[in-house]
Amino acid sequence: MSYATFFQSNLLDSTTIVLLVAVLVTLVVFTALGQYLKRQPEVAIDQAIIRTFNNRVIAWLTIFVVLTITMTLPRVVTVVFFGIISFWALREFITMTPTRRGDHRTLFWVFFLFTPFQYYMVARLNSGWFDWYALYTILIPVYASLFIPGRIAFTGDPKRFLERTAKIQFGLLICVYALSHAPALLYLNLGQYNPATGVKEVWQGKTGGLLLFLIIMVQFNDMVQFIWDRLIGKQVIAPSVNNTRTWEGLIGAACLTGLFGMLVQLLLPVTPFTWYGSGVMALLISVMGSSGKMTMSAIKRDRGIEDYGTLVHGHSGVLDRIDSVCFAAPIFFHVTRFFLSMPQ
Amino acid sequence: MKQVSIAVLTMLAKFFSGATVRWVNCQPEECQRVYFANHTSHLDALVLWSSLPKNLRALTRPVAAKDYWTGGPVRRYVSSLFNPLLIDRKQVKVHDSPVDMMIREIGTVYSLIVFPEGGRNPSGEMQEFKSGLYYLGKKRPDLELMPVYIDNLNRVMPKGEFWPVPLLSSISIGAPIWLEPGESKHDFLARARQAVLDLKEQ
């Protein structure tokens, strides 16, 4: 591997930059709007909703500002950035999960071997003679899921054995494995179908656009669903899991996100998808993102906590912000790869 | 060199413990204080000390077990950095009790970090307080006695483990208490223990 390819930094092309700037401007406008609404006590919207809205908009703005900075740098920087997020989310997840003394050394390896190594492999995808992609896809689902119960069994504490191993494995799978597919998008070699001939040709765009498309669609879906649930939604999906998520919000957000995906591709094509393909992908992201939110809600309700942010006093709750990305990233990655991957 | 080592040490302690610090109804100040906390892990003293602002760290000495912190070159080196007051748990002399030693060592400058439960308890339940805190408050009524609740640090590094696991923990420091006139030892220790427990809920 030459270091020139390792540090290549062309993640953004002009279209992607325009989209990124548009998103940043929108978020700044939303931030200003939220701050304005906060100072208007007579507005007919509940103050608690405005407060949640403000927190989220500021979190999104932070994510996009950091992402903008990392994407102008070598792509390994974006990988490290997602690695840090994974590490932090896993911290929150395991902190919430009751583990026992016997799990301590297993957790040590989970944090300090599997998590960094997974991201190391992302940065090595498509480089060198070794097939890193093969190891990348099975390290955690296969090897870690065998290592975790094995290592815990050796400590000699059989109490709630399956439950403990399942929890650690699930945390690793969601927080690290699933999320690592987002920066892995940057390492795809993609083609694009020529509409005139139907032949797959090498895509000329930059992979930074794919990652941006994923994050924008996830955030758009979260935001639309949040507003729809609060202002229009009536039919709550599962009150014991989450008493704010409604069918109207779910379906409405899925439709709007699908349309938004088409719109983005027609105006600012940052992905190799066709306009309808882009709509289907956005729809897929929406469904997966909503599933992620519901799943994490179920886990939180089971543990009797509101937010990961309130888990330990003063922490901000990274997992609350990325749960939908975690669920959408692997599916988005694999569907893209399945249809559009090009041999090197 | 020592300054660099201290910076690295506090950074590591903060990273592994993921500790957030909350000052509940009180502020960090340079006056003489005794921070008394629940004891769940060997890291308690180090993490609590690291979580104080830099100017207070130089003035605050954790009271720690001599047998643990003199065991092996690494621990000896680490303990030379955070300047603990090492107490021999096995040989408690009558004429020179640990409380007398603490009072002598802090003079009119230093603050202390103490763990009145004595040892760590593996169950997580907080034990009864030992009487040292009462005598500290009685002999030096000017000291501010600050309750501290340390949450979740026992999972970061349980008893008998060498490597920590980087979970999230929190440290809550509450408003100071003093020994009331005429308050009995038992009542005071129960009140002090309750002050620590109350921080868990706040």
Contact: B20, A313; criterion CB under 8 Å? yes
Nearest to A312 among B163, B166, B169 (CB): B169
pLDDT band at A311 (very low <50, low <70, confident <90, very high): low
Question: How many A×B Cβ pairs under 8 Å?
Answer: 46
Chain B: closest CA distance from residue A160 (Å) = 18
Give the architecture-level CATH label for domain B2-201: 3-Layer(aba) Sandwich (3.40)
- What domain count does chain A have? 1
Contact: A313, B169; criterion CB under 8 Å? no
Candidates A312, A316, A320, partner chain B, best to mutate (most B CBs within 10 A):
A312
pLDDT at B93: 63
Decide which of A178 and B21 is more confident: A178
Contact: A91, B158; criterion CB under 8 Å? no
Q: Report helix, strand or coil for A43.
A: coil
Lowest mean pLDDT among A93-102, A158-167, A221-230, B83-92: B83-92
Can you read off the two tokens belonging to residue B137?
């408050």
Averaged over A257-271, what is the pLDDT? 94
Burial of A313 (0-12, 13-18, 19+ CB in 10 A): buried
Candidates B157, B161, B167, partner chain A, best to mutate (most A CBs within 10 A):
B167
Candidates B151, B155, B170, partner chain A, best to mutate (most A CBs within 10 A):
B155
Q: For the segment A117-176, what is each residue's pLDDT rounded down to a tens digit? A: 999 999 999 888 888 999 999 999 999 999 999 999 998 888 899 999 999 999 999 999
Candidates A104, A148, A176, A315, partner chain B, best to mutate (most B CBs within 10 A):
A104
Domain boundaries, chain B: 2-201
Arithmetic mean of pLDDT over chain B: 86
Residue A147 in any domain: the answer is yes
Phi, psi dihedrals of residue B151, rounded to the nearest 5°? -110, 130
Contact: A107, B158; criterion CB under 8 Å? no
Chain B: closest CA distance from residue A105 (Å) = 8
**Amino acid, single-letter form, for residue B55:** N
Lowest mean pLDDT among A134-138, A288-292, B168-172: B168-172
Inform me whether the C-beta atom of residue A105 falls under 8 Å from chain B C-beta atoms.
yes
Contact: A104, B161; criterion CB under 8 Å? yes
Contact (CB, 8 A) for A225 and A249: yes
Q: pTM to 2 decimals?
A: 0.87
pLDDT at B92: 62
Chain A residues lying within 8 Å of B168, measured CB to CB = 91-92, 95, 311-312, 315
Nearest alpha-carbon partner for A225 in A245, A199, A207 = A245
Taking each helix axis as running N to C, give the angle between helix A318-340 and helix A275-303, from 0 to 180 degrees, rounded to the nearest 10.
140
Residue A179 in any domain: the answer is yes
Contact: B152, A111; criterion CB under 8 Å? no
Residue A90 in any domain: the answer is yes
pLDDT at A7: 47
pLDDT band at A43 (very low <50, low <70, confident <90, very high): low
Inform me whether the C-beta atom of residue A313 falls under 8 Å from chain B C-beta atoms.
yes
Burial of B169 (0-12, 13-18, 19+ CB in 10 A): buried
Chain A residues lying within 8 Å of B16, measured CB to CB = none
**Is residue A52 scored above 90 in pLDDT?**
no
Kindly calculate the radius of gyration of chain B based on its CA atoms and give it in whole angstroms.
16
Residue A134 in any domain: the answer is yes
pLDDT at A1: 44
Chain A residues lying within 8 Å of B169, measured CB to CB = 312
**Is residue A314 scored above 60 in pLDDT?**
no
Contact: B151, A313; criterion CB under 8 Å? yes
Q: Which domain holds residue A133?
A: 77-186
Contact (CB, 8 A) for A291 and A226: no
Nearest to A313 among B158, B167, B170 (CB): B170
Chain B residues lying within 8 Å of A108, measured CB to CB = 163, 165
Strand-strand pairing, B60-65 and B33-37: unpaired
Can you read off the two tokens belonging to residue B112?
């202390």
Q: For the segment A5-39, what is each residue's pLDDT rounded down to a tens digit? A: 544 557 888 888 899 999 999 999 999 988 888 88
What is the interface pTM, i.e. ipTM, of the complex? Answer: 0.79
Nearest to B166 among A91, A105, A314 (CB): A91
Chain A residues lying within 8 Å of B123, measured CB to CB = none
Spatial separation of the C-alpha atoms in residues A187 and A206, rounded to whole Å: 10
Inform me whether the C-beta atom of residue A130 falls under 8 Å from chain B C-beta atoms.
no
Can you read off the two tokens belonging to residue B98?
């640990």
Chain A residues lying within 8 Å of B17, measured CB to CB = none
